[in-house]
Amino acid sequence: MTVHSFQEHFDSLIDREIAIEPKDWMPDNYRKTLIRQISQHAHSEIIGMLPEGNWITRAPSLRRKAVLLAKVQDEAGHGLYLYSAAETLGISRDEMYDQLHTGKAKYSSIFNYPTLTWADIGAIGWLVDGAAIMNQVPLCRTSYGPYARAMVRVCKEESFHQRQGFEIMLTLSKGTEVQRKMAQDAFNRWWWPSLMMFGPPDAESPHTEQSVRWRIKRFTNDELRQKFVDVTTEQAKVLGLDMPDPEIKWNEERGHYDFGKINWDEFWNVVKGNGPCNKQRLEARNKAWNEGQWVRDAAMAYAAKKKNKAAEAA
Amino acid sequence: MSQQNKNEWPLWEVFIRSKAGLDHKHAGSLHAADAQMAIENARDVYTRRMEGVSIWVVESKHIRASDPGEAASLYEPATDKIYRHPTFYDLPDEVKYM
């Protein structure tokens, strides 16, 4: 087959919604875009453990602690599913780690905000995981098979995360005045960064069209953001919390909630590395990686020793 | 593109039997220093919610896969043998349960 016919075959698979698998021919850009998207997603899961890990030892009850531990362990699992999906495209795990540790690869900016109170754990589960689910559910039908399969697992597990967060928020908002204020404060701080999780407005998102064509992306950033605003505004009513945006208003004509202007300068500033915790997050990752080196080496040495012994005995 | 790092733990493919009586099915892959560690890691990564009763692991380098480019010639012999399917045969309506 010529390159032209390879491309035609690929396009026809995409058009017929047939999954692309690792050994299939694919355009270089498709491969590159997927590696970037999947590895950034994996990095986000791994970095995402840090803000929540901050509260494991200080969870208010044994139940909350067990739940938070399970959730953080899930995030590690999600990172691992995604890293192995990316590896099927021909990048090694160490290469991806290196890109994360040197700051070359990005992860979701939301994790560069601090978790100041216990209510932040509730807000993260409710809002951040809620936004993540909205982004991720369509990816269960994405065109690249290993990515789609990883996302099916991730989405199944993610819904417990959002529920546990909402439950924390509900408990706090029905609690004492101090607890209610704590919940409101966390809501106020996490609301805008959660809206930014859907990425820049469609008009400024140059890759959207190509990604939609490739079925790597199934809805635009603005479509998903609007859906999130609509759903979350209703949920906030159940919590009895005030929307952090005074401009939130139901628009009868559009059938959606209107909302205020997002501070994109803040978003780009955090992306560029100037968020409250960018430095701290990368340092924590690098420390864990470097200090784990001897463990990885020892495990390899032990495996080699066992192999040699088995060979001698044979 | 892939630079297999010599220090990287080998890659393993994980197969899980979700309950007795069913086949092992590919669940994903992971890195581990040896088979025992691969099984233990697979337990943590792929069966956190009772998804399995048995785990197989095999080092990815031992997997041999067919080439999708040869799919046409590989599977073509089966396409014109529709007489291998029961629906190929016309039977009178009176014949039941066959």
- Please state, in angstroms and rounded to a whole number, the distance separating the CA atoms of residues A133 and A143: 18
In a domain, B82, yes or no: no
pLDDT at residue number B3: 44
List phi, psi (to 5°) of B93.
Answer: -60, -30
Residues of A in contact with B67 (CB under 8 A): 23
pLDDT at residue number A150: 96
CATH code assigned at B40:
3.10.20.520
Q: Would the CB atoms of B30 and A306 count as touching at under 8 Å?
A: no
- Please state, in angstroms and rounded to a whole number, the distance separating the CA atoms of residues B29 and B60: 8
In a domain, B57, yes or no: yes
In a domain, B44, yes or no: yes
pLDDT mean across residues, chain A: 95
Q: Which residue among A70, A84, A302 sits closest to B33, beta carbon to beta carbon?
A: A302
Residues of B in contact with A78 (CB under 8 A): none
Report whether A124 contacts A52 (CB < 8 A).
yes
Q: Would the CB atoms of A95 and B49 count as touching at under 8 Å?
A: no
Residues A150-182 have pLDDT tens digits of: 999 999 998 899 999 999 999 999 999 999 999
- Please state, in angstroms and rounded to a whole number, the distance separating the CA atoms of residues A261 and A192: 10
Which regions of chain A does DSSP assign to beta strands (E)? 249-251, 256-258
In a domain, B40, yes or no: yes
Residues A110-126 have pLDDT tens digits of: 999 999 999 999 999 99
List phi, psi (to 5°) of A117.
Answer: -135, 170
* Polymer length of chain B: 98
Residues A172-224 have pLDDT tens digits of: 999 999 999 999 999 999 999 999 999 999 998 877 888 888 988 889 999 99
pLDDT at residue number B2: 41
- Please state, in angstroms and rounded to a whole number, the distance separating the CA atoms of residues A133 and B22: 31
Q: Which residues of chain A have pLDDT under 50?
A: none
In a domain, B7, yes or no: yes
Tokens of A286: 């690098």
What's the number of domains chain B is made of? 1
- Please state, in angstroms and rounded to a whole number, the distance separating the CA atoms of residues B10 and B4: 9
In a domain, B41, yes or no: yes
pLDDT at residue number A1: 57
Neighbours of A239 (CB within 10 A): 19
Query: Hey, which residues 39-98 in chain B have their CB within 8 Å of chain A?
Result: 44-45, 48-49, 65, 67-69
pLDDT mean across residues, chain B: 90
pLDDT at residue number A251: 97
A interface toward B at CB cutoff 8 Å? 1, 21, 23-25, 70, 73-74, 77, 80-81, 84-85, 87, 90-95, 149-150, 153, 157, 296-297, 299-300, 302-303, 306-307
Q: What is the ipTM of this complex?
A: 0.89
Band of residue B1 on the pLDDT scale cut at 50, 70, 90? very low
pLDDT at residue number A314: 79
In a domain, B74, yes or no: no
In a domain, B56, yes or no: yes
Which of B30, B6, B5 is closest to B16 using CA atoms?
B30
Domain of residue B12 covers 2-62
Q: Would the pLDDT of B67 be above 60?
A: yes
- Please state, in angstroms and rounded to a whole number, the distance separating the CA atoms of residues A306 and A58: 41
Pairs of CB atoms within 8 A across A/B: 69
Mean pLDDT of B23-35: 96
User: CA dihedral defined by A27, A32, A37, A38, rounded to 10 degrees?
Assistant: 90
- Please state, in angstroms and rounded to a whole number, the distance separating the CA atoms of residues A142 and A288: 33
